[in-house]
Amino acid sequence: MAGEPQADCLFCKIATGDIPATVVRETETTIAFRDVSPKAPTHVLVIPKAHYPDAASLAAAEPGIAADVLREAGQVAADEKVDGQGYRIVFNTGAGAGQTVFHAHAHVLGGRGLEWPPG
Ligand code: 5GP
Ligand code: ZN
**85 in a domain, yes or no?**
yes
Q: Which residues line ligand 1 (CB under 6 A)?
A: 10, 21, 33-37, 45, 92, 98-101
Report which protein residue has its CA nearest ligand 1's atom 19: 36
**115 in a domain, yes or no?**
no
- Tens-place pLDDT, residues 71-118: 999 999 999 999 999 999 999 999 999 999 999 999 999 999 999 999
What is the total count of domains within the chain?
1
Q: How many helices (H) and strands (E) does the chain have?
A: 3, 5
Ligand at minimal distance from the CA of 108 is 1
> Structure pTM?
0.98
Average pLDDT of the segment spanning 50-60: 98
Find the domain containing 17 and state its range.
Answer: 10-110
Query: Which residue in 69, 71, 79 sits closest to 110, CA to CA?
Result: 79
Catalogue the active-site residues. Answer: 105
**4 in a domain, yes or no?**
no
